[in-house]
Chain A
Amino acid sequence: MTDATWKDWLLSDAPRSRGQARLAGLYQGWLKLSRNWMAMVGLGILVVLVMVAMFAPLLAPHDPFAQDLLLRLKPIGFEDHLLGTDSLGRDILSRLIYGSRITLYIVALVTLIAPVVGLLVGTVAGYLGGFVDATLMRITDVFLAFPRLVLALAFVAALGAGIENAVLAISLTAWPPYARMARAETLTIRNSDFIAAIRLQGAGPLRILVKHIWPLCLSSLIVRITLDMAGIILAAAGLGFLGLGAQPPSPEWGAMISEGRRFILDHWWVATLPGLAIFTVSLAFNLLGDGLRDVLDPKDGGSQ
């Protein structure tokens, strides 16, 4: 098929199969998202990040762990060290490239845990109501009562330092807002006519939750996660900076800042470059999140 007929097929008002209907929906969302150039910039940065992480061994000019004390703290552009070296003479560019893997790892793990827990707790509480609701929401309140980083610190202190535990701690502190949001949405959806209609077909609570309520909560959840991702990366970096996250010699960006801070006045690049990396990725997630909100937020009407 040519481009034009593909487009017609996708934009058709009368799709002829399940697949076409679904693809058409996705395509219309994509059209809307691609009109937002800021979101496209964000998406571009994230695609680059994923590529970099995938091809790290090919892209990195040096071994990120190879130390050379003779070449320590060399400035940007020194010989073949494009971004200079750190206090142990390791190539900063290579470490940043390998560090993107850790960042993505954190992002992926947190997205797998926090929103899922939040969605489960929130929709169950909202749909069942009564005693279940009260219990689950009070537990949520307990988690919400502590500042996120402090709670994460406490968890890490209890579980032991390390990247997995840091992720776990962040996830455990990140789910309550999702639960609150999912509950609020469930409360409005639960009383709608289309839920009443499916109840009249004899559907049980599990089916209603999974097939009818979750899909409607999902879009705002995705938007929220994307917007929160910056905070999560910063929290992970913060734990790394405090020495409770990734352990040396791991090239985690937060830990790299922490190491570089001792030389920040004389050798600014050692701490600044990983900082810039964190900043760029956080910004990219925020831009994308803003764009996604325009596409997915049901309150804006339009695309469904």
Chain B
Amino acid sequence: MDAITIKDLDIWFGAGPTRVLAVKGADITVAAGESYGLVGESGSGKSTILRALTGLVPTWSGEMTLGGQQMVPAKRRDRSFYKRVQMVFQDPYASLHPRQSVDQVLSETLYLHGMDNINTRVEKLLSDVGLGPKFRFRYPHQLSGGQRQRVAIARALAGEPDILLLDEPTSALDVSVQAEILNLLTDLRAERGLTYLMVSHDLAVIAHMCDRLAVMRAGETVEVLSAEDLRASRANHPYTQALMANSAGTTGTPQPLESETSQTLMPAANSV
């Protein structure tokens, strides 16, 4: 069974003359238990897809099915949906309420999901993400970036979801911390049989975490390929090849990407 199916998905912002089409006709199928990656540069619409999947962006059209349930645009998702689908945000410095302790964040989330034994569950969640009980009553400003991201992951896991959407979960972190968080995510997926849909600009991170990936540019999926294909440089689309040349750490003249040279002036570049 497929965990996530997207067909011909358009997502836009604004209305009338200022309407901007951020995603054009995206097609993605993620099997249950799979880890799927979305790669692209800023403005490619990859994060927007995640926000539409969770209902944070209601302005979309097309077909969207999560865990067998058909979504309707602009309709509020119910709690049972959020119990199955959760998201981890990019910046752990912005995704935790500055005045709430770890305990408050997790207890409230558990309460909202209708869990019992909240006290024991909070401690269990903390140990699941590798934080000891001593972190329980700290405020975000008393935590490092990696610790904050662990709290954010714990929050996403509180409702025991099947599908986890990961929006560049490590791009705001140092590389050594990134390794810790990626390992944590790998283990959590293995333990809980989670389905991941992960967004990143870093091909190496996506290739490490995901089985398959879609490359996005300017709101369109350019190419879908497996991580093996990527490693073996079997990318067909020139954009994917250019991305690889630029990110693999290989020396040599970097090829300037079309997106930069053709859009010397930014405004209205991707409006319709």
A residues apposed to B, CB below 8 Å: 13-18, 20-21, 25, 192-194, 196-203, 211-212, 215-216, 298, 304
Contact = CB atoms under 8 A, between A and B. Distances in A.
B109 interface: yes
B137 A18 contact: yes
A201 B107 CA distance: 12
A211 B98 CA distance: 12
Interface of B: 51, 54, 56, 77-79, 81-83, 86-87, 89-91, 94-99, 101, 103, 108-109, 112-113, 134-135, 137-142, 152, 155, 158-159
A13 B103 contact: no
Contacts of B155: 197, 201
B82 A200 contact: yes
A15 B138 contact: yes
B137 A211 contact: no
B152 A304 contact: no
A202 B98 contact: no
A213 to B, nearest CB: 10
Contact of B138 (A14, A201, A202, A203): A14
B98 A216 contact: yes
A304 B56 contact: no
Nearest to A21: B137
Nearest to A216: B99
A216 B98 CA distance: 8
Contacts of A212: 97
B112 A197 contact: no
A272 B268 CA distance: 66
B43 to A, nearest CB: 18
B138 A197 contact: no
Name which of A18, A20, A201, A298 has the most chain B CB atoms within 10 A of its CB.
A201
Contacts, number: 82
A197 to B, nearest CB: 5
B99 A196 contact: no
SS class, residues of chain A in contact with chain B: helix
A120 to B, nearest CB: 19
A14 B143 CA distance: 10
Given A21-B139, A201-B158, A202-B81, 14 more contacts: A14-B138, A15-B137, A18-B137, A21-B138, A193-B91, A194-B98, A197-B95, A197-B152, A200-B82, A201-B82, A201-B155, A202-B78, A202-B79, A304-B141
Given A18-B101, A21-B101, A304-B99, A200 B138 contact: no
A257 B89 CA distance: 61
Contact of A14 (B83, B89, B134, B140): B134
Contacts of B141: 304
Contacts of B78: 202
B108 A211 contact: yes
A211 B108 CA distance: 10
B96 A194 contact: yes
B112 A201 contact: yes
A15 B135 CA distance: 8
A196 B52 CA distance: 12
Nearest to A218: B99
B95 A18 contact: no
A216 to B, nearest CB: 6
A18 B138 CA distance: 9
A216 B82 CA distance: 25
Nearest to B112: A201
6 contacts: A14-B138, A21-B103, A196-B51, A201-B113, A202-B81, A202-B83
A196 B155 CA distance: 13
A202 B87 CA distance: 12
A192 B79 contact: no
Nearest to B96: A194
Contacts of B113: 201-202
B42 to A, nearest CB: 16
A300 to B, nearest CB: 13
Name which of A21, A194, A200, A216 has the most chain B CB atoms within 10 A of its CB.
A200
B98 A196 contact: no
Contacts of A197: 87, 89, 95-96, 152, 155
Contact of A18 (B54, B82, B103, B108): B103
A301 to B, nearest CB: 9
B135 to A, nearest CB: 7
Contacts of A304: 98-99, 139-141
Contacts of B95: 193-194, 196-197
Contacts of B142: 13-14
Contacts of B99: 215-216, 304
B138 A193 contact: no
Given A200-B82, A201-B113, A194 B135 contact: no
Given A196-B89, A197-B152, A203 B97 contact: no
Contacts of B112: 201-203
Contacts of B77: 202
Contacts of B101: 18, 21
A200 B54 contact: yes
A215 to B, nearest CB: 5
Contacts of A20: 137
